[in-house]
Structures are given as C-alpha cells and as structure tokens.
A and B are shown apart, each in its own frame.
Chain A
Amino acid sequence: MYGAILNVKFTVVVHSAPYSTQAAASAYRFTKALLEQGHDVYRLFFFGDGVHNTSKLTVVAQDDTNWQQQWDKLIELQKLDSVVCVTSAIKRGIIDEAESARHELGAVSLSSSSEISGLGQLIDATINSDRVINFG
C-alpha cells in the first residue's frame, strides 16, 4: 500500500487477446498496480478479442506466463467484478454453463471468476466509475 491520497474508482476495459499484443498484459499490470495503491476497481470488462483473457482452457510453456490464469487469480483474490461481453464471447468459444446448455455445446471454457453479460454492463460502468481505461 502506498497510501493513495485520493481513492479513485476505475473500470478497466480489455479489447485485445493475450500473447498477440502487449495490451492485455498492460491492462493486468495496471489493474494490479491501482489495487496496490489503494484504488478501487468497479469492474473489469472484456470486449472483442479481449474475451480470450477469460478462458480456463489454456496451457502455456513452463517459461511463459499463463495470462488467463493470472487474471483468474487476481479476480478471485481481489473479488473483482469481471464481465465478459456476451456477443464477443460466444462467437469466440468463451462459453459458460448457461450458454453451453442453451446451445448444447457440451463444454465450458469461461473461468468461473468471470461472468457473461451484455454491453449494458460497460455503460453502467461508465456511469458509476470515476475513470474508464481502455487497453488494446
């Protein structure tokens, strides 16, 4: 804790997939840093290719960072509100129990720390956050 002078409520929006560009990793590091400095995260919102950060079906080489797992741990540990855009998610194979049942897909790929919802959650976040920061 750095004893922040002012507590600011952030929403972090992630537009990019991990591994392809630095953006999602920067979003992760930014989120971690602002929590360490005593700020609040109102919501994480994964949009477009950003939804790939919430897959639990990933395996990486031992000397590589599993970004999906890093996000999952951070969200669990800090009890963050993490929302994945439904239209972006289901066409990219990011599927929760409900979507899996509805479309008879027989598999679930979304990390249990995040939930699937609509763009309304992004607009709600812009209304209720002091700052909305976009990555990617």
Chain B
Amino acid sequence: MSEINSSKTVSIISRQAPYGSNRAHQSLDIALAAAVFEQAVNYIFMGDGVYQLLGNQNATSIQSKTLVNALETLDLYGIESIFIDSQSLRERNLTPKDLALNASIVSRGEIAKIVRASDSVFNL
C-alpha cells in the first residue's frame, strides 16, 4: 500500500437509544475524533439509534448530558454525511418531523453501499 493521502472513510453505525447505555455517546466521541483528525465521516443512525435524533430531549433530570444538543453541532465539526435508516423510523412510527436534525433518510440498500465504500466501520 502506497497511499500518500492518509484520509480514510470512517463510518459509524449508531444503533442504541441515547440513554440507558453509553453506546450513543461512544459513537459520537468516535465520530468527532475522526472529524478532528480530518477523516471522512459517515454517521449512520439505525435501530433504536434513531431515538437519538428526537427533538425536545432533556437529560438533566437523570444527571446526563442531553445528547441531541451535541448531535446538532455535528456540522461545526465538518460532519455532514448523516444518514437515517428509513425502515427504523417506520418501525418506530417516527417521521422526519419528529427529528431535530436534517439528515438523509436512506434505505438499507443504500446503507450497505456506504458500508462497502468505507475503510473502517464502527458498529455501536
């Protein structure tokens, strides 16, 4: 391998709800670190991970940080490739109106394509 360009495509598939486990925060930390080190980041929300994007979250009563506030700042870190699995939304009776973020709503087939085009995938 003789790649001069050290920028790789890192995809993060976040599949857990925002609270109850630390996985959603771990996904965010990896995404931000990858962006800071100038890697191309795809941030994909699937399964219960779509709950991370709901508006009107307030986690102060459980002494936690409100995750969606941080997710709303992703574009400041240059993370603009944000994808939501449409089937996961449907299964949870959610629509784009329920979400605090502007993101591409995509099919499982499109997610598979993104994964295939990635150098590294973190599935949390």
Binding site for B on A (CB under 8 A): 13, 15, 47-48, 87, 118-120, 122-124, 126-127, 130, 132, 134
Contacts and interface: CB of A to CB of B under 8 A. Distances in A.
A120 B120 contact: no
A118 B123 CA distance: 20
B69 interface: no
A53 B22 CA distance: 18
Contacts of A118: 33
Contact of A126 (B1, B26, B120, B124): B120
Given A47-B26, A48-B22, A48-B26, A123 B122 contact: no
14 contacts: A15-B26, A15-B124, A87-B29, A120-B33, A120-B37, A122-B30, A123-B39, A126-B34, A126-B39, A126-B119, A126-B120, A130-B1, A132-B122, A134-B124
Given A120-B36, A132-B120, 13 more contacts: A15-B26, A15-B124, A47-B26, A87-B29, A119-B29, A119-B33, A120-B33, A122-B30, A123-B34, A123-B36, A123-B39, A126-B39, A134-B122
Contacts, number: 39
A119 B122 CA distance: 13
Contacts of A87: 29
Contacts of A127: 6, 8, 37, 39
Main secondary structure of the interface of B (DSSP, over half): mixed
A119 B123 contact: no
Contacts of A130: 1
B115 interface: no
Interface string B27-50: 001100110110100000000000
